[in-house]
A and B are shown apart, each in its own frame.
Chain A
Amino acid sequence: MVSVMQRYSALSLLRHALNGHRNWQAAWRSPPLRDRYSAIIVGAGGHGLAAAYYLAKEHGITDVAVLEAGWLGGGNVARNTVTVRSNYMRDESIPFYVRSVDLYDGLTRDLNFNLMQSKRTMIDVLQTWGMVRDRRRRRLIMDIYGSTYQDISVDELRRRVPLLTGGGPDSRLPILGAAVHTDASVNRHDAVAWGYARAADALGVEIHQKTPVTQLLRGPDGAISGVETPRGTVRAPIVALAVSGHTTTLTETVGLRLPLRTINLTAFVSEPVKPALDVIVNCPDLGVYLSQSDKGEMVIGGAPDLGQSFRRDIKQGVFEHTVAMLLELFPAFRRLKLLRQWGGHLDMAHDASPIVSKTDIPGLIVSAGWWGGYKAIPAGGAGLAHLIATGRPDPLTAPFGLNRFRHLDYVVETGTTTAR
């Protein structure tokens, strides 16, 4: 059943205002859960919802259920620091992220949902020669694929980020220079989840919240046959996992081991303050990065917690370290009040690149290893949809198959923001 999506516009806002906002249509349906679909996507986060949308839009496949344990957009898609950028290292990675950044730039129009997409520019503050070398290496490869890095001097950095008064010649790690990545943007995370959900729903895809998958099911031939949920068994010849952090929890129910470790990443925000920072500042040597939200809050992210973790809170040690590092460069923030802190758990592959792949179990597809994968939602979702629809990866996600491990042909990536 395909509903007609109510279009959002200034005119519709005006019209509904005249009616006291009583007649807005629900953004998506809550249909009854059927016991069979052509495909099941597990996880209504950014990747699952984007895949559902592109499956319907690009491939005409709408007999699809997205099953979500909690509520739609309640996972990492709502817990991240919304930094969208393409300054990666490898020939395999950069074109994929360049495409994803491009898709984000057109997504508000495509989804008819205001993502509050804001081109911000990211400036990397470089404080060790090793990091200067790392950025130079990245730039050589980025130049090939149309991503951008420009070197600027310390003076130019201080002119562009007046609040950055630390890191002087007498400090522990004097600033050596900076690299400017103009492609970077931030946007509104809820809108990404809701926009994809609404558009996928309008094309006929069903989204089922509060429907955790507890067990994958295999038929007598060994192929995937469906999933078990507390609401009953749901059958499908194709099951795609987009469960960020819990991929192995589910694949282990059918004995499939994957090269993934689950880690915890954290962030916190300050009280809203007047506009003071118009770029994303990234300090990879210190393990902290920040941007200012439209509401005025400083949104601050730190390095991953060490070791495997399935927690959603922030470890005090990580928090204190991140704050201490932030104050080294932004001493004025000593007076800033912090309002909220949180974490999320994500899985990271052995080579730190994502996995969008078929598995040894026919019909079972995984999209995982997204530990910095908010930026990757549009291109990753499109790639996952292509794999579900055609059984083959699209060119941009083809390097990220599980086969690379079988051949020990790693695509070794490393963190850009908080590499440590």
Chain B
Amino acid sequence: MLLIDCPFCGKRTESEFAYGGPALAPRPDPAALTDAEWVDWLTVPPNPLGWVEERWWHARGCGAWLTLRRHTVTHEIAEVRHGR
């Protein structure tokens, strides 16, 4: 079970949170991109054996959306920040 250090509530277990998917870069203007870049932004998340950035919602706590930096092999969490 992950222990997520919410900036507002302190260390809370994963069961208080809802997962919100990979943290994407802000939505670009599709008209300013090539088709390949647009498809990439929409569909291709980084999938490393290593660090990913992802969104977690403290639904059963303070209600804030957090961004985590988490390791996909060890589950270690290196950073928790409010917002993006």
Q: How far is the CA of A249 from the CA of B40 in the complex (A)?
A: 17
The interface stretch among A80-88, A94-102, A259-267 is: A259-267
User: How far is B70's CA from A311's CA once the two chains are assembled, in angstroms?
Assistant: 13
Contact status A308-B72, CB under 8 Å: yes
Say which residue of B1, B35, B42, B72 sits within 8 Å of A309 (CB atoms): B72
Contact with B along A261-290 (1 / 0, CB 8 A): 110000000000000000000000000000
Q: For the side of the interface on B, what is the size category?
A: 20 to 34
Q: Tell whether, in the assembled complex, residue B75 and residue A317 are in contact, meaning their CB atoms are under 8 Å apart.
A: no
* Cross-chain contact B75 with A308 (CB below 8 angstroms): no
Give CA–CA (A258, B70) in the complex, Å.
Answer: 21
- If A262-B47, A310-B49 touch, whether A406 touches B39 (CB-CB below 8 Å) is yes
- Contacting residues, chain B, for A350 (C-beta < 8 A): 42-44
Instruction: Contact check, A347 vs B54: say whether CB atoms are below 8 A apart.
Output: no
Is there contact, CB below 8 Å, between B13 and A317? yes
Residue in B15, B35, B44, B54 whose beta carbon sits within 8 Å of that of A308 in the complex: B54
User: Does A321 interact with chain B (Cβ within 8 Å)?
Assistant: yes
Q: Taking A257-B40, A261-B22, A406-B39 as contacts, is the C-beta distance between A308 and B47 under 8 angstroms? A: yes
Is A145's CB within 8 Å of the partner chain B? Answer: no
Which residues in chain B, 22-75, are within 8 Å of chain A measured between CB atoms? 22, 35, 39-40, 42-45, 47, 49, 52, 54, 70, 72-73, 75
Instruction: State A310–B2 Cα separation when bound (angstroms).
Output: 15
Instruction: Work out how many contacts link A and B, with CB atoms closer than 8 A.
Output: 55
- CB atoms of A405 and B39 under 8 A apart: yes
Q: Are A259 and B43 in contact (CB under 8 A)?
A: yes
B42: contacting residue among A306, A317, A408, CB under 8 A: A408
Residue contact B19 to A307, C-beta cutoff 8 Å:
yes
Complex Cα distance, B47 from A350, in Å, reads 12
Contact residues, A215-265 vs B (CB, 8 A)? 248-249, 257-262
In the complex, B14 has a CB within 8 A of chain A:
yes
Which of chain A's residues has its CB closest to B54's CB? A307
Bound CA–CA A347/B47 (angstroms):
9
Contact surface of B with A, Cβ cutoff 8 Å: 1-2, 13-15, 19, 22, 35, 39-40, 42-45, 47, 49, 52, 54, 70, 72-73, 75
